[in-house]
Amino acid sequence: MAKHEFQTEVGQLLQLMTHSLYSNKEIFIRELVSNASDAIDKLNYLRLTEDNLKEKYADFKGQVNIKIDEEDNSITIADNGLGMNEEDLIASIGTIAKSGTKSFVEALSGDAKKDSNLIGQFGVGFYSVFMVADKVDVISKKAGEEQAYKWSSDGSGSFDLNPCVKDESGTVIYIKLKEEERSDYTSKHRVETIVKKYSNHIAYPIFLNYSEEVTEELSEEDEKAGKEAKKSIEKKREQINEATALWTQPKATLKAEDYNEFYKTISHDSDEPLIYVHTKAEGVSEYTTLFYIPKKAPMDMYRVDFQPGVKLYVKRVFITDDEKELLPTYLRFVRGIIDSEDLPLNVSRELLQENKIMANIKQSSVKKVLGEIKKLAKDEEKYKDFIAEYNRPLKEGVYQDYTNKDAILELIRYKSTNDEEKMTSLSAYKDRADSEQKAIYYIVGENEKVLRNSPLLEAYKKNNIEVLILDDKEIDEIITPSIGSYQEWDLKDITSCEAPKAEQTEEEKKEVEEKFKSIVEKIKGVLGDAVKEVKTTNRLSDSPSCVVKDANDPMASMAHMFRQMGQEMPESAPILEINPDHAIVQSLNGCADDALIEDVSWLLLDQAKMSEGMEIKDSVSFTQRLNRVMSKAF
């Protein structure tokens, strides 16, 4: 026998499955039936496009068979789909076939409800079988191949994989139940209820195979003679689902619970969706779409190898679930179905990207999804939950999707100085602002608390001007400048623009500059290349100094290019602005102690950097200077 060790993360996952997850165990049936449906989908497509399968599977009709056996204490789930070979079995159920498995396993908490949800999101639903199984055998034969294989495991550290005999392609999963699960999963009524709940709208018939004790009817004479009726065991088989693709049904006949349960089947999510939208288009293009937005973002949403959530069908025939461009990548959290009546069945991935029919479906689908999100925004509580999960990908959409840029901008929400608890839209910001303002101000950084206490905000607070707090620097620094303007109001970064509503005339400004010219030159002489420029400012009220970016620095405009390439941006020296009204600066202006001027100059720069969350590279020198200045103060 060929014994294989599980991938480390799978072993950890199975430990949790067998010992921790005791909530909602029935989902293993949903997961295995869903996998069976996917396997049938794939064979259904390949038999129409692969020459070596066309003849053999010309009359193919997909089906799923569930068999319960109370005597054997087992349940078997079988399909006649694509099947798996040795390599597929190792890749699919010997490893978690995605990167990031370590972070996934670390996310598992032992909290049954949360973990069962994570398991579905990560696409490892097969392993849910070990919540109820003492042992599992998977017997599979891949369509077009001769050799079948048997995979066996008790859910501990290893599995056996060996050649075996199987007549037809497809997969059989034999589950030897734990003793305590016998009454649940060998019960006809229980299994039928679970299938109707989760898999009623799987597009293929699901048959339940079971044994039933039948009592023979006695004649009147036999009854009078006191004879006992003969009992026998009959094998029965009946279809227990509707086997009609839900998205093809008229909306008027479907209830919210129908949509929600179908979502759980295609998404492997244990939670209900946040919203769904079902559309049937007729006219130039004929197609049906059914889209869902999950309550929680998919775990792999920010991974390059994210799994797309939308399946493409042509005339109810499955085409692909692995095409990342069916919707724009910023909507990669959307789950659902696209079913076209007009695309050819043999449409290739390359053709999909150039096909006009697909382009029209994509464009209409994006507008429909964005329209539903806009409707959701009317419910503040629900929208707050949506934004917590999906604000960031919507920001990506501003950069990616110029056609829908304006619609997306209406959906994004921002933290602001106006309200620490509630986020704002650009529209609401503009409505609150003074009409003469003509600009939307923002500050970008990595830490909300640091940004809210930035000295750069002092002039804006003084003038009652709201500033957006953008604390997701990695994306905000790229996306926000690309917005340019919103309804004719420019978006301005307060770290590189003039302070608003200056209360100085040009004459007063020149007078201040002249008065502090000497100390400004001395500070610049001390700091040298550490700063681009030193100048007085009217943007501060409480702080002695601040650092700002040079709006004309070409490196600043190239920052997003460096980040897109995954490179650190070359460091650019800031401009140091000093507050001429502050006691420290005024005392320094009349100071004759060069050593003190040097120490205070560096402290003005360092504390200004710290206020903006910037790194001070020489913390030892900073401490020494601070100690010397404090000593002189006392």
Q: What is the DSSP string of 154-195?
A: -SSSEEEEEEE--SSSEEEEEEEE-GGGHHHHT-HHHHHHHH
403-411 long-range contacts, Cβ below 8 Å, gap at least 24? 403/363, 404/366, 404/367, 404/370, 405/483, 407/367, 407/370, 407/374, 408/370, 409/483, 409/486, 410/374, 411/370, 411/373, 411/374, 411/377
pLDDT (mean) for 605-625: 91
Confidence at residue 220, expressed as pLDDT on a 0 to 100 scale: 72
Q: Which of 501, 526, 551 is the last residue of a domain?
A: 501
331/91: higher pLDDT: 331
CA distances from 158 to 2, 11, 95 (A): 10, 8, 11
Give yes or no: residues 80 and 176 share one domain: yes
Residues 153, 135: contact at Cβ < 8 Å? Answer: yes
Inside any domain, residue 440: yes
Give yes or no: residues 183 and 118 share one domain: yes
What is the token pair recorded at 164? 């075996």
Confidence at residue 349, expressed as pLDDT on a 0 to 100 scale: 65
E strand or H helix at 75: strand 74-79
- pLDDT tens-digit readout, 389-411: 999 999 999 999 999 999 999 99
Inside any domain, residue 402: no
* CA atoms of 230 and 293, how far apart (whole Å): 57
pLDDT (mean) for 547-576: 68
pLDDT > 60? residue 21: no
Confidence at residue 415, expressed as pLDDT on a 0 to 100 scale: 97
Inside any domain, residue 383: no
Inside any domain, residue 127: yes
Inside any domain, residue 602: yes
Give yes or no: residues 331 and 477 share one domain: no
Give me the count of residues in the chain: 634
* CA atoms of 223 and 575, how far apart (whole Å): 107
Contacts of 306 (CB under 8 A, 6+ apart): 298, 300, 324, 332
Confidence at residue 443, expressed as pLDDT on a 0 to 100 scale: 95
What is the token pair recorded at 384? 């707050």
CATH code for position 196: 3.30.565.10
Angle at 12 between CA 6 and CA 18, to 5 degrees: 100
Confidence at residue 56, expressed as pLDDT on a 0 to 100 scale: 92
* CA atoms of 18 and 236, how far apart (whole Å): 32
- pLDDT tens-digit readout, 43-85: 998 998 888 999 999 999 999 999 999 999 999 999 999 999 9
Comparing C-alpha atoms, which of 345, 62, 331 is closest to residue 202? 62
State the angle between helix axes of 356-376 and 380-400 in degrees (0 to 180), rounded to the nearest 10. Answer: 150
CATH code for position 586: 1.20.120.790
pLDDT > 70? residue 574: yes
State the angle between helix axes of 473-483 and 380-400 in degrees (0 to 180), rounded to the nearest 10. Answer: 70
Which residue range(s) make up the domain with 340? 246-376
28-66 as b/e: b if 16+ CB within 10 A: bbbbbbbbbbbbbbbbbbbbbeeeebeeebeebebbbbb
Residues 67, 209: contact at Cβ < 8 Å? Answer: yes
- pLDDT tens-digit readout, 260-310: 999 988 888 888 999 999 999 998 889 999 999 999 998 889 988 888 999
Give yes or no: residues 61 and 188 share one domain: yes
Give yes or no: residues 530 and 549 share one domain: yes
Rounded to whole angstroms, the maximal C-alpha distance in the chain is 129
Angle at 94 between CA 90 and CA 97, to 5 degrees: 85
Tell how far CA 535 is from the center of its chain. 46
pLDDT (mean) for 22-50: 87
Q: Which of 440, 475, 501 is the last residue of a domain?
A: 501
Q: pTM, whole model, 2 decimals?
A: 0.78
Give yes or no: residues 494 and 510 share one domain: no
Q: What is the DSSP string of 6-73?
A: PPHHHHHHHHHHHHT--SSTTHHHHHHHHHHHHHHHHHHHHHHH-HHHHTTTTT----EEEEEETTTT
pLDDT > 50? residue 123: no
pLDDT (mean) for 530-549: 92
pLDDT (mean) for 144-167: 92
Q: Based on the structure, what is the number of domains in the chain?
A: 4
What is the token pair recorded at 291? 């889209």
pLDDT > 90? residue 580: yes
Give yes or no: residues 477 and 523 share one domain: no
Strand runs labelled E in 379-458? 414-416, 419-424, 439-444
Strand partners, 171: 79, 140
Give yes or no: residues 125 and 173 share one domain: yes
pLDDT > 60? residue 244: yes
pLDDT > 70? residue 166: yes
pLDDT > 50? residue 99: no
Give yes or no: residues 79 and 14 share one domain: yes
Give yes or no: residues 99 and 171 share one domain: yes
* CA atoms of 153 and 135, how far apart (whole Å): 6
Confidence at residue 100, expressed as pLDDT on a 0 to 100 scale: 46
Inside any domain, residue 403: no
Tokens 């085409």 sit on residue: 319
What's the chain's Rg over C-alpha atoms? Answer: 33
Comparing C-alpha atoms, which of 261, 207, 238 is closest to residue 30? 261
Predicted confidence band of residue 553 (pLDDT cuts 50, 70, 90): low
Strand partners, 438: none
Inside any domain, residue 331: yes
CA distances from 62 to 33, 36, 76 (A): 12, 10, 17
Give yes or no: residues 182 and 297 share one domain: no
* Phi, psi (degrees; rounded to nearest 5) at 275: -150, 160
Residues 383, 377: contact at Cβ < 8 Å? Answer: yes
Comparing C-alpha atoms, which of 578, 588, 568, 565 is closest to residue 533? 578
Residues 602, 617: contact at Cβ < 8 Å? Answer: no
E strand or H helix at 461: helix 458-462
Confidence at residue 250, expressed as pLDDT on a 0 to 100 scale: 93
What is the token pair recorded at 73? 């204490």
- pLDDT tens-digit readout, 310-358: 999 998 888 888 889 899 999 999 999 999 999 887 777 667 777 899 9
- pLDDT tens-digit readout, 472-527: 998 999 999 999 999 999 999 998 887 776 566 788 889 999 999 999 999 999 99
What is the token pair recorded at 618? 């020489």
Q: Which of 352, 376, 400 is the last residue of a domain?
A: 376
Residues 312, 319: contact at Cβ < 8 Å? Answer: yes
Give yes or no: residues 47 and 130 share one domain: yes
Helix, strand, coil percent content, the chain, rounded in steps of 5: 45, 20, 35
pLDDT (mean) for 444-460: 93
Inside any domain, residue 399: no
